[in-house]
Amino acid sequence: MNITSISFTDPPVYHQFPPIYENLGLPDVSSFIEQRFQFTFTLGKIERTRYGSIRLYKQQGDFKVMIPEKLPGFGPIRLEKLKSLLLEQVKTDFIQNIESEPQKRKVYYTDFRSTR
């Protein structure tokens, strides 16, 4: 398996959650910065192009690569290997994009509790 090219398709987006959820320690409801990218990889003689995203969870400082679609011929072990290869190649450019972004795009999540 070899990654031949990676290019970012969108600027970084900041996802903000209410403070009540931040203290739960769950990554699904923790604030994060996400950027989408397109990558091309070869598996054997076949070259494929797919989309993914990288996330930086602010509170934990963890990076995570997300691939939304199933990849034919990839089991859990091979998928984790692909994600680790992508993380190695995308991480530094992602950090540079966060630091150099002049206008920050934000998405806010809110708390919809009943007022009773």
* pLDDT for residue 80: 93
Calpha distance 4→40 (Å, rounded)? 6
Q: What is the DSSP letter of 84?
A: H
Calpha distance 26→4 (Å, rounded)? 34
Structure tokens that stand for 83 in this block: 């994600």
Q: pLDDT tens digits, the chain, 116 residues: what are they?
A: 788 999 999 899 998 887 777 777 676 778 889 999 999 988 888 898 999 999 998 877 889 999 988 888 888 999 999 999 999 999 999 999 988 877 778 877 776 666 66
For 68-73, the CB contacts below 8 A with 24+ separation are: 73/43
Residue-by-residue DSSP string for 61-75:
TEEEEE--S--TT--
Phi, then psi, of 110 in degrees rounded to 5:
-125, 170
The whole-model pTM stands at 0.82
* pLDDT for residue 114: 62
